[in-house]
Amino acid sequence: MKVRGADDNRTLFANEVGVKNLIVVFAVLAIAGMSGIAEAKNASADYRVVGVSDGDTLTALSAEHERLKCRLYGIDAPEKKQAFGQASKLSLSQLSYGRTAAISIVGRDRYGRAICKIAVAGVDVNKEQIARGMAWMYRRYASDRTYSDAEVKAKSRRVGIWRDTQPVPPWDFRRKGFDKT
């Protein structure tokens, strides 16, 4: 029979403390990870729109005063130097600037911006930009049927970008380097 000494008790205590600390660390990590649940589950939160960069990008402020740069999901608006670029920015400003918006983050783009669905007073701002002819549906990243329907209607009404006989999609405009002037 082996008799435990003081060294054995210290080792036992150290192991118990180590396990408790490990449990605390895992609990903290789990709670910290839960802050990303809203993003993962597309839950929306209310923000105040404090800036509009162009027709598909805005900046919003949370109740906790955290800034969120949002790239609107499923749309691609004309670039600032492109035909209808300024009109598209103005349209997004009219829809959202200074207003409370329910924002759902659906992902992140390669620049780290949040990809967002935006609703103001129950209006789907992303879809409204398409319906007004102020943006294309970005089929490369979205397949929302209501967005494609809005685009078809805007084309048939010849509103916004669809007034041009041959509108240049922003992805072609960027690729050809027209926005570098």
Which residues make beta-bridge pairs with 97? none
Catalytic residue among 10, 79, 132, 151: 79
Residues 164, 85 contacting (CB under 8 angstroms): no
Verify whether residue 71 is a known catalytic residue: yes
| Amino acid in the structure at residue 81 | K
Catalytic residue among 48, 99, 113, 174: 113
Verify whether residue 48 is a known catalytic residue: no
SS3 content of the chain, % helix, strand, coil (to 5): 45, 25, 30
Verify whether residue 174 is a known catalytic residue: no
What 3-state DSSP class applies to 117?
Answer: strand
Catalytic residue among 71, 128, 132, 151: 71
Residues 159, 132 contacting (CB under 8 angstroms): yes
Is 98 buried (19+), middle (13-18) or exposed (0-12) by CB count in 10 A?
A: exposed
Tokens of 15: 């192991």
Catalytic residues: 71, 79, 113
